[in-house]
Amino acid sequence: MKKMSRLAGIFCGTVLLCSALGASADTPNNPVIWADVPDVAVIRTGDTYYMSSTTMHLSPGLPIMKSRDLINWEMVSYAYDVLGEQDALWLRNGKSAYGSGSWASSLRYHKGSYYVSTFAQTTGKTYIFKTDNIEKGPWQEFSFRPMLHDHSLHFEDDGRVFMIYGSNDIRIRELNADLSGVKEGGIDQVLVPNVSAVTGKRTGLPAEGSQFRKIDGKYYLFNITWPPGDMRTQTVFRSDNLLGPYEGKVAFTCEGIAQGGLVDTPEGKWYALLFGDRGAVGRIPYLVPVEWKEGWPILGKEGKELPPLEIDVKRDPIPGCIASDEFERKEGEAPLPLQWQWNHAPENSTWSLSARPGWMRLTTSRTDADILSARNTLTQRTFGPQSSATISLDTRNMKEGDMAGLCAFQKFYSYVGVKKTAEGSQYVMVRHESGKPVEVESQPCTQETAFLKVECDFQSRPNRATFFYSLDGKEWKAIGKPGEMSYTIPHFMGYRFAIFNFATQTPGGFVDVDYFRVGIPQSKEASPSK
């Protein structure tokens, strides 16, 4: 966790800088996804683009998205369900993997197979997943020690396999040809020393986030660095030989948009898919036009501005990685659409779509102090600039001390829910303040069906989540006060919509969720979109 502590001061300051900058770099179709999709890696096969990204402590993990136009992306797969049996990955024995789990990935297509790799502080391992069908799997897993930080997988033409990884002094390490681990006696050396020095300023966060490509016979290494008092900056190094020497320069400095890789279109145009820190919604992808001059990729307008995209495609206002769900399943359908992820690994025996067809049942199996430690919290990304989520909740089988509802979920969470007490049920609005949950307001809940809604505004400063309840799902009443959303370490993730149910006194109670509907709020009294 040395990495995490080193990040804290630098990262938080940069998030504030990027939040203050706001959306001035935004153009039509940019950002391409206004939601938390960080550490992007991208490839093209034929006329189809694939992207992988980071999802930390969520399960399943290492998501794969697909696009035909580089603008609209849909979920197609995950590389793994759970990385291991460590208590932290399962929210057991007071442990958690918030901000940990798996981090930045690398995506490759090589000799008819797809490879996506990552690493995890929680397990201390490096992972490579291989499949012949990136959309349907199955995935074959290779894992080994040590954990190679922010690596980029590279297949050399002579059959050798490498990972380029590390921080500031970027290293190259040879792997066994069968991907079973690092090669004993293989290449293991610094590839490019002191990458951050190319900015010409003293180092803030040392360079990391390696993306490595061989293009037209030359080798290109892309990294990010954060000079003090400046913004996240993209660097590029190149060489005629795998092991160097490499020459480098700053590739892109524009509102902190950085970290990612290059991709070309079938027509021969080039782009960089990078991401920018954008407050509580998270780290969101931008598509940057690229031109080549004298063998160097020139990002944006002379490496300093983000010009409009010359791609005549309309972006869907609700990203494809987010979707409503009526919880109705046809025979043969997956239990959960790919847009859903659990907060940590789920306890599969205590959630069900078959106990009451057309409903999601969440049953408590233990007692917990708050939502951060609760099992089986079901999440999706929030999205900007504004978004809403609504659920219908059958509360009749809750037990005294149970709490269930809808959350704007991160470390400083806030939620609207139903609390079961000895005197009956109450609508409650809760905010996590000063290290503990605080009940801001409660109102009597006299019916068994609760309609709950959260609206997120990522354009306000600070970003805010506003909560509502309804007796009929049409007329809404605000409850409590807006929750102030703040992107934080250790969670290191944009806010999520989260459906939850946890017990504080006696396990065994359950709630049934009729639907989850996302939309774009028109006004504070707008009905949810279906």
pLDDT tens-digit map of 53-72: 999 999 999 999 999 999 99
In a domain, 529, yes or no: no
pLDDT tens-digit readout, 491-513: 999 999 999 999 999 999 999 99
How far is residue 268's CA from residue 204's CA, in Å, rounded to a whole number? 36
Question: What 3-state DSSP class applies to 7?
Answer: helix
Query: Mean pLDDT throughout 74-91?
Result: 98
| Residues 290 and 353 placed together within one structural domain of the fold | no
pLDDT at position 457 over 60: yes
> Given this model, what pLDDT does residue 13 score?
42
Q: How confident is the model at residue 14 (pLDDT cuts 50, 70, 90)?
A: very low
How far is residue 66's CA from residue 44's CA, in Å, rounded to a whole number? 10
pLDDT at position 136 over 90: yes
Give the DSSP H/E element, type plus range, for residue 393. strand 386-394
| Residues 118 and 266 placed together within one structural domain of the fold | yes
Whichever domain contains 478, its CATH number is: 2.60.120.200
- End-to-end Cα, the chain, rounded Å: 43
| Residues 16 and 79 placed together within one structural domain of the fold | yes
Of 248, 268, 299, which residue sits at a domain end?
A: 299
- Where b means 16+ CB within 10 Å and e means fewer, 176-196 reads eeebeebbeeebeeebbeebb
More confident residue, 204 or 467: 467
Question: What Cα–Cα distance (Å) separates residue 16 from each residue in 10, 19, 385, 462, 482?
Answer: 10, 5, 17, 10, 20
pLDDT tens-digit readout, 159-173: 999 999 999 999 999
pLDDT tens-digit readout, 167-194: 999 999 999 999 999 999 999 999 999 9
Range of the domain at 199: 2-299
User: How many structural domains is the chain composed of?
Assistant: 2
How far is residue 377's CA from residue 362's CA, in Å, rounded to a whole number? 9
Query: Mean pLDDT throughout 462-475?
Result: 97
> Given this model, what pLDDT does residue 7 score?
47
Name the residue among 432, 529, 527, 443 with its Cα closest to residue 486: 432
Q: How confident is the model at residue 25 (pLDDT cuts 50, 70, 90)?
A: low
| Residues 290 and 368 placed together within one structural domain of the fold | no
| Residues 113 and 203 placed together within one structural domain of the fold | yes
Query: Mean pLDDT throughout 2-10?
Result: 42
Whichever domain contains 96, its CATH number is: 2.115.10.20
pLDDT tens-digit readout, 211-223: 999 999 999 999 9
In a domain, 527, yes or no: no
In a domain, 328, yes or no: no
% of the chain at pLDDT higher than 90? 90
| Residues 419 and 284 placed together within one structural domain of the fold | no
Structure tokens at 200: 């010409």
In a domain, 324, yes or no: no
| Beta bridge partners of residue 193, listed in sequence order | none
The chain-wide mean pLDDT, for the chain, equals: 93
pLDDT tens-digit readout, 314-341: 999 999 999 999 999 999 999 999 999 9
| Residues 249 and 347 placed together within one structural domain of the fold | no
pLDDT at position 113 over 80: yes
**Please, which residues have CB within 8 angstroms of residue 517's CB and are 6 or more apart in sequence?**
324, 389, 390, 391, 528, 529, 530
| Residues 136 and 211 placed together within one structural domain of the fold | yes
Query: Mean pLDDT throughout 203-217?
Result: 94
Of 299, 323, 357, which residue sits at a domain end?
A: 299
In a domain, 320, yes or no: no
> Given this model, what pLDDT does residue 478 score?
98
| Residues 356 and 252 placed together within one structural domain of the fold | no
pLDDT at position 105 over 50: yes
This prediction has a pTM of 0.94
| Residues 295 and 354 placed together within one structural domain of the fold | no
> Given this model, what pLDDT does residue 157 score?
95
pLDDT at position 85 over 70: yes
pLDDT at position 15 over 70: no
In a domain, 311, yes or no: no
pLDDT tens-digit readout, 474-487: 999 999 999 999 99
How far is residue 496's CA from residue 13's CA, in Å, rounded to a whole number? 22
> Given this model, what pLDDT does residue 20 score?
37
> Given this model, what pLDDT does residue 205 score?
83
Q: How confident is the model at residue 489 (pLDDT cuts 50, 70, 90)?
A: confident
In a domain, 321, yes or no: no
In a domain, 199, yes or no: yes
> Given this model, what pLDDT does residue 396 score?
98
> Given this model, what pLDDT does residue 24 score?
52
Of 299, 330, 352, which residue sits at a domain end?
A: 299
Backbone conformation region of residue 57, classed left if phi is above 0, alpha if psi is from -120 to 50, else beta:
alpha
pLDDT at position 247 over 50: yes
| Residues 72 and 202 placed together within one structural domain of the fold | yes
> Given this model, what pLDDT does residue 525 score?
40
| Residues 364 and 281 placed together within one structural domain of the fold | no
